[in-house]
Amino acid sequence: MTATWDVVGIGENSVDYVYRLPAAPEPNAKLPISSHRLLLGGQVATALATCAALGLRTTYIGSFGRDDNGTRIREALARRGVDTTHAPIRHTSNRHAVILVDERTGDRTVLWERDPALALRAHEVPPAVVASARLLHVDDVDQEAAIKAARVARAARIPITSDFDRITNGTEALVAAVTIPIFAEHVPAALTGEADVERALRKLRRSHGGLLCVTLGSRGAMLLDGDRLHLVPAPTVEAVDATGAGDVFRGAFIYALLRGDAPVDILRFANAAAAVSCTRAGAMDSVPTLAEIEALATKDTKG
C-alpha cells in the first residue's frame, strides 16, 4: 500500500521575534538592537518545512493559537506545502519566542512562552494518520502525545526520528519509544553521566538498538550505527543566524534517510543543510533548497 504521507510531524510551532545584537547580552548590559524581524519556526514545524522544500509529502500535528500569530504560521506552513488538516486550534495565543542573536557569531538566546492550553493531548493523535506515513518525526514538547504516536508507528514498522534538546521526567520513556533519536549535544551526557559524547552514545547503545545521532553545532554531527561511529564535520560558512539550524538538520536527515543514503552520507547532507540555513536569518525562512544543499555537500567533500 502506498503511504499517504512521507512524514508526519508531531510537536512545536512558534512565532519568533528575532533581535540582532552587536554582542551576546551579559548581566545588567544595555545593548542597541541592530535589527529586528518577525520570523516563523518551531522545532517540528521547521523540520517539516525542510522536508516539504525537498519534495516530501508532509502533515503537521500540533496546536495553533487562535490569534494573529497562529494564523501567520498556519498559513506559512500551507504555503510551504505542509498539511495542517489534523492540527487543532486553541482559544489562546500561539506559542512565541524572543530570540537574541549575537551578530558576530550567529549564536542565540531563546526566551519563549507557551500557554499550557496549547498542549497536544494523546487522544488527539490520529492513529490512522500516523500509520499512513513512511516516517514519524516528534519533538519532546508534548511527550505523552509523542509517545503514543511513536507506539503507533512502531506497530506499523515505521521509523521514528526525534528532536531532544532538554531533559524531563519523560525523556527516557520517549527515547525508548523512538527508533532514531537525534539529540542536542548536552542531552546524552545528561542521560548517561558520561561527559564524552562517544562514550555517552555507547552507553545508550546498551538499551537502544537504533541509529543514535548527536548534533554538535559548528563541529558537525556524530552518529552511532551499531558499533560503528561516524563523525562528520560541518562545512565552513559565514554564519548569520543559527536559529532553526538543528531543525533544518533533522528535516534534511529525514530526507536523506528516506532516500536510502548511507549513514555517513546522511550526516554529510544534513550538515550541509544546517550550514546553509546558518547563512540566512530565521528558522523556516532559512530552509535551503535541494540544489543549495547538494552544492555545499559536494564542495565540502571535494574540499
- What is the number of other CB atoms lying within 10 angstroms of the CB of residue 260? 8
pLDDT number for residue 272: 96
Q: Is 25 part of a structural domain of the chain?
A: no
Instruction: Give 301 or 115, the one with higher predicted confidence.
Output: 115
pLDDT tens by residue, 25-46: 888 889 999 998 898 999 999 9
Q: Is 112 part of a structural domain of the chain?
A: no
Closest CA to 54 of 279, 251, 272, 276: 251
User: How confident is residue 301, by pLDDT bands cut at 50, 70 and 90?
Assistant: low
Domain assignment of residue 179, given as a range:
5-12+42-93+119-302
User: How confident is residue 302, by pLDDT bands cut at 50, 70 and 90?
Assistant: low
Q: Is 28 part of a structural domain of the chain?
A: no
The least confident of 32-41, 98-107, 150-159, 267-276 is 98-107
User: How confident is residue 119, by pLDDT bands cut at 50, 70 and 90?
Assistant: very high
User: How confident is residue 215, by pLDDT bands cut at 50, 70 and 90?
Assistant: very high
Instruction: Give 242 or 184, the one with higher predicted confidence.
Output: 184
pLDDT number for residue 282: 78
Q: Is 113 part of a structural domain of the chain?
A: no
pLDDT number for residue 238: 87
Q: Indicate which CATH number applies to the domain containing 135.
A: 3.40.1190.20
Q: Is 227 part of a structural domain of the chain?
A: yes
Q: Which strands form 96-102's sheet, in the order they lie side by side? A: 35-41, 14-21, 96-102, 108-113
Question: In the chain, how many domains are there?
Answer: 1
Mean pLDDT of the chain: 93
The least confident of 33-37, 50-54, 57-61, 246-250 is 33-37
pLDDT number for residue 80: 96
| Residue 204 clears pLDDT 90, i.e. is over it | yes
